[in-house]
């Protein structure tokens, strides 16, 4: 029962994406093609994906299953659209639409550079196509092909500005970890296919695995998809690769690709593996909590804006996995109604993170394009130079700090409500561990708010700390439109949680057979996850309250407008203890802002502090240059990655000893092989 | 749900919010009075904060040259979220429609929103004092969050709900019991309240030394009606924490139904509870000295530990099955 | 959960005091001043004596009153006085024994409590005493005493940790079986007293040998060459 509308829309989306890639090929000779044809086609693809999602989740749409004559003769590609795939297609669609609005203005900066525009357009198109195909894939073969397409295309984009050696290093690390993750995922599919007998998801869904093999498959999926999603300790590529890519690609990678990894994990564990064990849920819960806390603590000590945002992605993926862990614990203990709550919370946060992280990366790209500076310590005062960017970035900051009435708050509230259902469990240990992890989640949220006060305060408020920032201009309309769209959606998903939860209910119903009836029973105004007496949140009314409060003051402000025109509010110097005017260097820096937290959580980082102290040789008490630089090295480099690297090098060296260079040894090898083969024949 | 959504209920709730905001300066003044008496000083008149607010509203606003729209919007957001938070808490009447609109977690979120804008406004002016105050305030708030959530969890596990009205009704309907979990949660909430409202030993609300300020440094640049709104917001926040402690842990006297007699009795009971609590707070502030900032981390860790043991004793002692 | 509300006020008070004993155990872990450590230990003794007295009045086992009195005199008054006197003589009373990594210690303590709960569940099911829920807490007090022994550097705070461990054992006896035979109790009480006195003597010897009471420096006493 294939739905014609959804089939057409998906076909349109895929064709438009491939078309965008193809249209970018002549862009080296005709640069206008990139902004004029490739990005608009990408926008069409995004809009079609979004339309499919709305049709499927809010409208009367049903999915489809189709078998394409591509691939191996006995293993054709199967594509399937069900509510889960539709939801993730929607996420891809929204961000791609925003990127297509943003792209034309942004890539103009590369027009006169040494890098190939054709490659940029081609790789972006293939990247999006790969993500869409991963979400639609219905058998392991096409899934892996689409996954690799996604990885390789994104590698080309990460390595785009390849003339800097740091960028090449980051891209190599990214490719290495992507391949390692893909190998683990392939092994996981291999376990499933071994028991199912064939590679299609339909067959895998109906087989039951013995418990040991199921846990092995779970572990492989967690490591493989976790590596792509950025779970600690497999996250090392994230803070290296995301800052290096062009900003619209960073938005796609952080906002969408990590979500596709989450999709892969949800599809594998919640759909294909069948029966969930609660022990897996505990593993997910712990992995998620550690990732969340680790990510936010590392983000606090960064002063490179994009690296900071990359660490926040690690944090938010941790929060998503906390929701998934709670869901698995409840499902494993036979409480499907509560498990669905955890799943809804995780999926809602997936959507929210895609929106506000893309918004923040696009905003960061705008700042970097206009200010030519990635370091927070050189920015400042941009709210006066780039007011619209500042407004949209503020919306992003408020959303990611999980503050009402924006969307980040709703998904955190749902996660807390899911954790609060812990008393329904039998096991006392779980009933104590779950609130403890929820407290860690609260700490994470509060630290994230502190971090974004730091980011916004240092970048936009105060006075400009460098020359470029003093003369930065507002960005072009396309970039502003993209950010405005995402900011509006952040607000929309914050005030319409009940409708979104109802839509997500369709997703969970198709995955697990249970919907979220209780959550939406009171109508669109109230979100009541368990029951009205237990907890309810009415986001529109909270917004109304905030709006009324602001409206009252707005009316007063308008009323006094005429009086203020005659006598504007007088401006004066800020309080500086009477020492005279305050210069930009006297403001708090980003590093200074995070200092108390750095003192309190000191063991978490490996901090390298470089104080610079150059005194005048003629007068030793007069300083010529005083400075301070802080660099935080990831703890897991020395704990995990360097030992693995040493192990691999050691093993490679030992194997390399076979190559002795002596002719007699090589002849001896041939002789030995001949002897062994003859012996085997007998 | 529909029964307490009638227009009368909304009107009563709005009246209750107005009462809340009206008594907030009075409560702050009472605490100051008791503290002055304990320190052998002559206290200011009880109604002085109202006079201060009226004076500040009449004064003109002076903005720093570097102030941006964020600075101008911040007082309205801070005061607005404080008043909105106050509207969510049952003061003299248990069943209010706003409690269905926002539960305890939303309350914490509203405080966080106000604090976010407060810190941004401090950074906006570009002075080192603003940066210092913002940095310290966000650190203290970050450390207080897990403790606050653990208290919320303990309360929610006892009452099976995060809705404030439901929690209070639950305590009213149960027989009087000595529960270790609620006792420890109460102690933790007292410590958290001291940290969040910026009282001694975390922060001195009456200090003039910029290097020792946390909350005061954030409002250093405000003047005129902006300063009035900030002061009012701080007083409302203090009253909110006092009312939370009084009504969540000792709610006897609160009106379950909206009747004139019940409401008056509830108001009297609340006044007595707030007077007692204010006197205890003033006594504690006089007895203890202010801690340095990095000791505040230990202070909040104590609060978190108490709340954690409260939650653990709930599972181990009170609901082992 | 309604089961807890059905209990009489006396039993609720006993369980509340049990929770407060656990709080004092956490407080012992977190204290860095030697004086404060000894005072918290004394308060733990008071709480234990109070708990035992209430259990005695509720269950009607009057020998527990004697246990309570013994605990009060010995653990809340005499041994703290002895420790303070020794510390003052050694000049270490006003010292600090900084807690290594307080955050990790706190998390470890929480994990220990959860672990003790998991371990004590089968035991709790078999016990018929009214305080059987508190067996997990008493086991946790023992483990936290051991944790204190591990995380401290100065000898005197380690002695307090050892005493706290013994407190936990006594508490476990009260909650699991409503006390031990009187002979056993008296024997253990005198053993603890003797241990406290001998520790005091040893402090002087250790300090004479290595000029410090930091137990990490005790490795200087080894005979092997470094």
A414-468 residue pLDDT tens: 999 999 888 888 888 899 999 999 999 999 999 999 999 999 999 999 888 888 8
Write the secondary structure of A226-253 as one string of H (helix), E (strand) and C (coil): HHHHCCCCCCCCHHHHHHHCCHHHHHHH
Please list, in sequence order, all residues whose beta carbon lies within 8 angstroms of the beta carbon of residue B255, skipping any fewer than 6 positions away. Answer: B92, B93, B94, B262, B263, B265, B266
Measure CB to CB from residue B175 to each of C5, C22, C136 and give the nearest one: C5
Token pair 């609109």: residue: B101
Return the pLDDT at A95: 96
pLDDT for residue B316 is more than 90: no
Return the pLDDT at A533: 64
pLDDT for residue B160 is more than 50: yes
Mean pLDDT of B187-198: 94
Please list, in sequence order, all residues whose beta carbon lies within 8 angstroms of the beta carbon of residue C56, skipping any fewer than 6 positions away. Answer: C62, C63, C64, C65, C67, C68
Mean pLDDT of A575-599: 85
C117, A432: Cβ pair inside 8 Å?
yes
Which run of H or of E encompasses B111? helix B104-124
Q: CA triplet A22, A27, A28: central angle to 5 degrees?
A: 130
CB B163 within 8 A of CB B157: no
d(CA B99, CA B101): 5
% chain B with pLDDT above 90? 56
Residue A82's closest CA among A116, A52, A123, A41? A52
CA-nearest residue to A428 within chain C is C118
Structure-block tokens of residue A363: 């905003």
Q: CA triplet C100, A602, B294: central angle to 5 degrees?
A: 80
Return the pLDDT at A452: 96
d(CA B22, CA B27): 10
Structure-block tokens of residue B217: 């440094």
pLDDT for residue B233 is more than 70: yes
Measure CB to CB from residue A582 to each of B63, B77, B126 and give the nearest one: B126
B127, A442: Cβ pair inside 8 Å?
no
For A426, counting Cβ atoms within 10 Å of its Cβ (0-12 exposed, 13-18 middle, 19+ buried), the class is exposed
- The chains found to touch C (3+ Cβ pairs under 8 angstroms) are A, B
Cross-strand pairs, A206: none
ipTM over 0.85: yes
For A245, counting Cβ atoms within 10 Å of its Cβ (0-12 exposed, 13-18 middle, 19+ buried), the class is buried
Strands A571-572 and B63-64: parallel
Residue A522: pLDDT band (50, 70, 90) is low
Chain B CB within 8 Å of residue A553 CB: yes
Measure CB to CB from residue A429 to each of C101, C104, C117 and give the nearest one: C117
Residue B321: pLDDT band (50, 70, 90) is low
CB A409 within 8 A of CB B109: yes
Q: How far apart are the first and last CA of chain B?
A: 31
d(CA B218, CA B133): 5
d(CA A554, CA A467): 36
Q: Which residues of A touch B149 (CB under 8 A)?
A: 416, 438-439, 441-442
More confident of the two residues C40 and A474:
C40
Residue B77's closest CA among C173, A547, C79? A547
- The chains found to touch B (3+ Cβ pairs under 8 angstroms) are A, C
Mean pLDDT of B192-217: 88
Q: What are the start-end ranges of the H helices in A274-381?
A: 278-300, 305-332, 336-371
Residues C127-158: tens digit of each pLDDT = 766 677 788 899 999 999 999 988 888 888 88
pLDDT for residue A123 is more than 90: yes
Token pair 């929210």: residue: A352
d(CA A587, CA A607): 23
For A663, counting Cβ atoms within 10 Å of its Cβ (0-12 exposed, 13-18 middle, 19+ buried), the class is exposed
pLDDT for residue A471 is more than 70: yes
d(CA C29, CA A561): 61
CB A591 within 8 A of CB A576: no
Residue B95's closest CA among B160, B5, B181? B5
Reduced DSSP (H G I as helix, E B as strand, rest coil) percent helix, strand, coil of chain A, to 5: 70, 5, 20
CB A107 within 8 A of CB A249: no
A428, C117: Cβ pair inside 8 Å?
yes
B135, A588: Cβ pair inside 8 Å?
yes
Residue B83's closest CA among B53, B127, B113? B113
Residue B154: pLDDT band (50, 70, 90) is very high
**If you write DSSP's letter for every residue of A94-156 in order, what string do you get?**
HHHHHHHHHHHHHHGGGTTSSS-HHHHHHHHHHHHHHHHHHHHB-BHHHHHHHHHHHHHHHHH
CA distance A357 to chain B (A): 19
More confident of the two residues C91 and A175:
A175
Cross-strand pairs, A631: A608
B317, C103: Cβ pair inside 8 Å?
no
Please list, in sequence order, all residues whose beta carbon lies within 8 angstroms of the beta carbon of residue B294, skipping any fewer than 6 positions away. Answer: A596, A599, A600
d(CA A385, CA A470): 8
Residue B1: pLDDT band (50, 70, 90) is very low
CB A73 within 8 A of CB A333: no
Residues A625-647: tens digit of each pLDDT = 888 888 888 888 888 999 999 99
> Cis omega (within 30 of 0) on the bond before A217?
no
Measure CB to CB from residue A432 to each of C103, C104, C114 and give the nearest one: C114
% chain C with pLDDT above 90? 24
Measure CB to CB from residue C101 to each of A429, A433, A603 and give the nearest one: A603
Residue A16's closest CA among A31, A38, A35? A38
pLDDT for residue C123 is more than 90: no
Return the pLDDT at C2: 61
Sign of the CA dihedral with C100 first, then C101, C106, and C112 last = negative
Strands A75-81 and A64-72: antiparallel
Residue A499: pLDDT band (50, 70, 90) is confident
**If you write DSSP's letter for every residue of B247-276 in order, what string do you get?**
HHH--TT-BSS--HHHHHHHHHHHHHHHHH
A596, B136: Cβ pair inside 8 Å?
yes
Neighbours of A679 (CB within 10 A): 8
Residues B25-46: tens digit of each pLDDT = 999 999 999 999 999 999 999 9
d(CA A271, CA A255): 23
> In b/e form, how buried is each residue of A39-58, taking b as 16+ CB within 10 angstroms?
bbbbbbbbbbbbbbbbbbbe
Return the pLDDT at A252: 93
Residues B139-149: tens digit of each pLDDT = 999 999 999 99
Residue B278: pLDDT band (50, 70, 90) is very high
Chain A CB within 8 Å of residue B301 CB: no
Residue A540: pLDDT band (50, 70, 90) is confident
Structure-block tokens of residue C125: 């099911």
Mean pLDDT of C168-174: 87
Whole-number average pLDDT of chain A: 89
Domain boundaries, chain B: 2-318
Measure CB to CB from residue B320 to each of C13, C19, C133 and give the nearest one: C133
Residues A296-353: tens digit of each pLDDT = 999 999 989 999 999 999 999 999 999 999 999 999 998 888 899 999 999 999 999 9
Lowest mean pLDDT: which of A500-504, B96-100, B211-215, B272-276? B96-100
Structure-block tokens of residue A189: 């599919």
How many residue contacts between B and C have a Cβ separation below 8 Å?
A: 75
Structure-block tokens of residue C61: 């086992």
Q: Which residues of A touch C101 (CB under 8 A)?
A: 603
For A130, counting Cβ atoms within 10 Å of its Cβ (0-12 exposed, 13-18 middle, 19+ buried), the class is buried
d(CA A151, CA A184): 14
Token pair 């944790």: residue: C147
pLDDT for residue A61 is more than 80: no
d(CA A453, CA B294): 20
Chain A CB within 8 Å of residue C121 CB: yes
Return the pLDDT at A649: 93
d(CA B220, CA B222): 6
Interface with chain C: mutation pick from A426, A436, A443, highest number of C CBs within 10 Å: A436
Return the pLDDT at B2: 46
More confident of the two residues B265 and A530:
B265
């Amino acid at each position: 029962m294939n739905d014609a509308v959804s089939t057409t829309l998906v076909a349109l989306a895929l064709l438009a994406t491939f078309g965008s890639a193809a249209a970018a090929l002549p862009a080296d000779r005709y640069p206008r093609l990139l902004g004029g044809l490739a990005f608009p086609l990408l926008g069409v693809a995004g809009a079609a994906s979004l339309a499919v999602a709305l049709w499927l989740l809010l409208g009367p749409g049903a999915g489809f299953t189709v078998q394409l004559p591509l691939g191996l003769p006995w293993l054709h590609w199967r594509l399937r659209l069900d509510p889960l795939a539709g939801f993730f297609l929607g996420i891809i669609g929204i961000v791609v639409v925003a990127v297509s609005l943003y792209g034309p203005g942004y890539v103009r900066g590369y027009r006169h550079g040494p890098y190939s525009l054709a490659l940029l357009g081609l790789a972006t198109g293939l990247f999006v196509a790969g993500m869409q195909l991963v979400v639609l894939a219905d058998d392991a073969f096409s899934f892996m092909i689409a996954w690799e397409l996604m990885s390789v295309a994104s590698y080309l984009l990460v390595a785009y500005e390849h003339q800097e050696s740091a960028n090449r290093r980051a891209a190599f690390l990214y490719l290495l970890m992507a391949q390692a993750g893909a190998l683990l995922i392939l092994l996981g599919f291999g376990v499933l296919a071994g028991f199912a007998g064939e590679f299609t998801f339909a067959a895998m869904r109906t087989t039951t695995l013995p418990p040991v093999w199921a846990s092995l498959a779970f572990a492989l999926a967690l490591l493989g998809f976790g590596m792509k999603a950025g779970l600690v300790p497999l996250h090392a590529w994230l803070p290296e690769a995301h800052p290096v890519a062009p900003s619209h690609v960073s938005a796609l990678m952080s906002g969408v690709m990590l979500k596709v990894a989450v999709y892969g994990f949800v599809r594998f564990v919640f759909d294909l593996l069948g029966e969930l064990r609660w022990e897996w849920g505990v593993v997910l819960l712990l992995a998620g909590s550690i990732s969340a806390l680790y990510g936010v603590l590392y983000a606090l000590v960064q002063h490179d804006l994009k690296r900071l945002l990359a660490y926040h992605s690690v944090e938010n993926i941790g929060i998503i996995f906390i929701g998934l862990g709670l869901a698995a614990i409840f499902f494993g203990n036979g409480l499907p109604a509560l498990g669905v709550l955890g799943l809804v919370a995780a999926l809602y946060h997936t959507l929210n993170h895609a929106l506000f992280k893309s918004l923040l990366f696009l905003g960061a790209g705008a700042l970097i394009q206009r200010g030519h500076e990635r370091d927070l310590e050189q920015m400042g005062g941009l709210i006066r130079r780039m007011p619209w960017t500042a407004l949209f970035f503020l919306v992003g900051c408020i959303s990611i700090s999980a503050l009402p009435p924006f969307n980040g708050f709703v998904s955190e509230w749902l996660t807390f409500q899911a954790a609060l259902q812990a008393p329904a469990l039998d096991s006392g240990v779980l009933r104590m561990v779950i609130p403890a992890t929820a407290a860690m989640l609260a700490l994470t949220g509060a630290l994230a708010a502190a971090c974004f006060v730091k980011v916004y305060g240092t970048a936009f408020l105060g006075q400009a700390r460098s020359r470029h920032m003093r003369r930065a201009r507002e960005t072009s309309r396309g970039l502003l439109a993209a950010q405005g769209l995402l900011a509006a959606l952040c607000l929309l998903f914050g005030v319409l949680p009940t409708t979104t939860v109802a839509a997500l209910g369709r997703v969970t119903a198709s995955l697990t057979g249970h919907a979220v009836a209780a959550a939406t029973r009171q109508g669109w105004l109230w979100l009541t996850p368990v029951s009205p007496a237990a907890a309810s949140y009415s986001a529109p009314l909270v917004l109304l309250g905030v709006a009324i409060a602001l409206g009252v003051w707005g009316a007063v402000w308008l009323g006094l407008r005429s009086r203020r025109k005659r006598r504007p509010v007088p401006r004066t110097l800020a309080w500086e203890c009477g020492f005279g005017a305050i210069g930009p260097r006297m403001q708090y820096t980003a590093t200074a802002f995070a200092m108390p937290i750095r003192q309190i959580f000191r063991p978490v980082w490996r901090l390298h502090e470089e104080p610079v102290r150059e005194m005048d040789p003629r007068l030793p008490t007069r300083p010529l240059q005083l400075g301070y630089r802080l660099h935080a090295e990831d703890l897991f480099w020395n704990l995990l990655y360097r030992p693995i690297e040493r192990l691999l090098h050691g093993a490679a060296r030992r194997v390399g000893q076979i190559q002795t260079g002596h002719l007699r040894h090589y002849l001896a090898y041939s002789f030995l092989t001949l002897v062994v083969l003859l012996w085997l024949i007998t | 749900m529909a029964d307490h959504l009638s227009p009368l209920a909304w009107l009563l709730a709005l009246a209750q919010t107005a009462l809340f905001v009206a008594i907030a300066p009075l409560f702050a003044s009472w605490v100051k009075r008791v503290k002055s008496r304990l320190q052998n000083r002559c206290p200011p008149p009880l109604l002085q904060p109202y006079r201060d607010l009226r004076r500040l509203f009449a004064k003109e606003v002076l903005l720093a040259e570097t102030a941006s729209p964020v600075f101008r919007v911040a007082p309205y957001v801070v005061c607005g979220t404080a008043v909105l938070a106050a509207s969510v808490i049952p003061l003299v009447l248990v069943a209010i429609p706003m409690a269905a609109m926002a539960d305890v977690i939303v309350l914490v979120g509203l405080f966080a929103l106000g604090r976010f804008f407060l810190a941004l406004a401090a950074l906006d002016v570009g002075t080192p004092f603003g940066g210092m105050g913002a940095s310290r305030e966000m650190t203290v708030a970050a450390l207080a969050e897990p403790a606050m959530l653990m208290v919320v969890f303990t309360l929610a596990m006892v009452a099976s709900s995060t809705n404030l009205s439901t929690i209070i009704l639950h305590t009213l309907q149960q027989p009087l019991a000595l529960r270790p979990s609620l006792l420890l949660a109460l102690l933790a909430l007292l410590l958290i309240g001291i940290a969040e409202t910026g009282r001694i030993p975390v922060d001195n609300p009456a200090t003039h030394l910029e290097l020792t300020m946390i909350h005061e440094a954030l409002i250093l640049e405000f003047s005129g009606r902006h300063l009035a709104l900030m002061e009012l917001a701080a007083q409302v926040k203090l009253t909110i924490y006092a009312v939370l402690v009084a009504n969540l842990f000792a709610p006897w006297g609160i009106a379950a139904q909206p009747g004139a007699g019940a409401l008056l009795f509830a108001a009297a009971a609340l006044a007595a509870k707030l007077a007692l609590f204010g006197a205890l707070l003033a006594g504690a502030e006089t007895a203890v000295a202010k801690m340095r900032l990095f000791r505040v981390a230990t202070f909040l860790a104590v609060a978190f530990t108490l709340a954690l043991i409260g939650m653990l004793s709930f599972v181990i002692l009170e609901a082992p099955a | 959960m309604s089961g807890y509300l059905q209990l009489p006020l006396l039993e609720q008070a006993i369980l509340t005091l049990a929770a407060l004993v656990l709080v004092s155990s956490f407080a012992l872990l977190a204290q860095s001043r030697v004086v404060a450590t000894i005072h918290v230990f004394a308060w733990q003794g008071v709480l234990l004596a109070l708990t035992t007295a209430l259990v005695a009045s509720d269950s009607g086992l009057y020998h527990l009153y004697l246990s309570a009195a013994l605990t009060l005199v010995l653990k809340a008054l005499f041994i703290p006085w002895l420790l303070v006197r020794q510390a003052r003589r050694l000049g270490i009373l006003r010292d600090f024994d900084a807690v290594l990594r307080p955050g990790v210690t706190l998390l470890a303590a929480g994990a220990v409590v959860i672990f003790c709960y998991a371990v004590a569940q089968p035991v709790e099911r078999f016990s018929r005493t009214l305080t059987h829920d508190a067996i997990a807490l008493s086991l946790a007090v023992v483990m936290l005493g051991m944790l204190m022994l591990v995380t401290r550097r100065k000898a005197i705070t380690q002695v307090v940790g050892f005493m706290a461990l013994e407190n936990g054992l006594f508490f476990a006896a009260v909650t699991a079986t409503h006390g031990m035979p009187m002979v056993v109790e008296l024997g253990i009480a005198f053993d603890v007293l003797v241990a406290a006195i001998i520790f005091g003597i040893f402090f002087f010897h250790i300090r004479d040998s290595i000029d410090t009471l930091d137990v990490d420096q005790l490795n200087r006493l080894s005979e092997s060459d470094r």
